[in-house]
Structure 1
Amino acid sequence: MILYDVIIIGGGPIGLNCALEAEKAGLSYLVIEKGTIVNSLYNYPLYMTFFSTADKLEIADIPFISTAPKPGRRDALEYYQGISRQRNININLYEEVLKVTKQENFLVETTKDKYHAKKVIISTGFYDIPNVMNVKGEDLPKVKHYYSEPYPYANQKIAVIGSSNSAVDAALETYRKGAEVTMIIRHSEISKSVKYWVKPDIENRIKEGSISAYFNAEVLEITPNTIIFKDENQTVHEIQNDFVLAMTGYLPNFEFLKACGIKLQGECLNPYYNEDTMETNVSGLYLAGVVCGGKDTHLWFIENSRIHAEIIMKDISTRI
């Protein structure tokens, strides 16, 4: 039986960073990822541009070279997957962790095998579970919670739900490929977190009427040929519709966290962890990356959670 010093669940940028820090500390480790390397980034829209500059996305002091001022999805895939190859990171791909049990050490059960470790780090992100609207018709085939590119929506009537970066990108890109776009926005304005070079574009398209937008609005029902919603005046609208792009955000796997014994707190279901060590209420079980924010998925991202790996390995090294 192999007993690893640490098992890292999730092979995203922060999970890879944890692996590199474990290697630096001389610890044996295994990364277990249910998809490909940096699977969440792989599933981002094909032409997505990051808000951050390349240097803010670097891990382990390995330079991220990008010819563009802000790198895109493909640049990030090349960078992180290149690191995995060059540094020969010990990672199992397409293997989902089903259960983590604390015994004398940890037992980690997956879809393929069972593993043992002294410590476990959960760095699973939040992109796998859509934040659903819970409205009638949301399960129709025309409703998409993921958006990759605009071409399937050319000359179609599109409803985009949301006002964050993903919603704005989907609205602008499909509009420019000939779609008739209506945005249904729960808040009173376009999100302040929208990329600063994109925000004026969407606001001007709305102002000139190229893209319709309803603020303080709520979706009531989706039918095969229409979408029904009410606006800020409580007026109910039913408009013709071919596709609904529900860019309503994503959530961590709270059931998995709870099954691991991690306490969830408050309305945002923030998982408990010690900010000085990133250790949860379960001794030897740590959190890293965006999963730390619970429902507040804008709290942590690559740029400000890279430090988690160093904090965790510093604590683990003193206890093994």
Structure 2
Amino acid sequence: MSLSVLTVVGARPQFIKAAPVSHALAAHGNIREILVHTGQHFDAAMSDVFFQELDIPPPAHNLEVNSLGHGAMTGRMLEKLEEVMIAEKPDWVLIYGDTNSTVAGALAAAKLHIPVAHVEAGLRSFNRKMPEEINRVMADHVSNLLLCPTRTAVANLAREGITHGVHHVGDVMYDVTIAAVERARERSDILTRHGLTPKTYAVATIHRAENTDDPAQLAKVIAWLSERGKDTPIVMPLHPRTRKLMEKSGLNPAGIRIIEPLGYLDMAWLTHNSAAVFTDSGGLQKEAYFHRVPCVTLRDETEWVETVQAGWNRLWSVPDYEPRRDITDYGTGACSAKIATLLAA
């Protein structure tokens, strides 16, 4: 009998992380994946393009839950995911990261006594004001298989009393990046389209609630970026939500070229050829390291402490980088195959 794995995704980072794992599950030969899209990111630029570019099969279920507050969105997802899980009767529910879709998938499965596997388990920023931190802690504490990208994540779980079912597997994003760079080299015209020369520009992204919900904080971030833009031109693919908030606050940044949200291949090639990355995104902090591009995190803490310790990343409040070295924790690009093997076992 084949094993059935119900995968819950809903936001851009999850589509990207799910791609290599979906391919590994299909290659295993004895695992049937049921992909469920909660609808958290629903427009074509933030959703459909990733399925197309990364060769992810279309979702078996699209719950179309979006444009709601945290509580309403998570509650609606819980309700609809429970219906799908009851109908599909999966052997595992597979979740990624730290979004509302993640915690809804974890809680719905746990209440139905379906084992939960969490990719990117054990990450901690230790800032409980971040909704992402609450989501990842709750997801970890109801998960049966905790798939950690780093040894620090394993240690974080141990401090919380979670030691059973914990595995250091490496980072799925490294798997994606290796494949994406070669594909983007052939397919992406992002540099030509925007008249960019490699290593002469920086990339910036802003989307976290802690930076966008408070107009004063958003203005502070834009001012910081504008100052850096005097030395190095900054290209900023702008999240639709952030664009609306900037327009509402009357922010018109100098030295920053705002462009449309990008598909994964274009974003990978833009990052790969940049001189620096400025971001509040957890995923892009790591991707900058995978591309060997220095990063500044526009937050007061980061869950990816290895990137800071290895000198490839620093917080914007810190004046300089630590001495630079390679990071071994993220693996060799075979994380997805390890996950498929652990699920099958």
TM-score (norm 1): 0.32
More strand by share: 1
**Greater RCO, 1 or 2 (C-alpha within 8 Å, sep 6+):** 1
Give TM-score, length-normalised by structure 2. 0.30
Give the number of the structure whose residues are more often helix, by fraction. Answer: 2
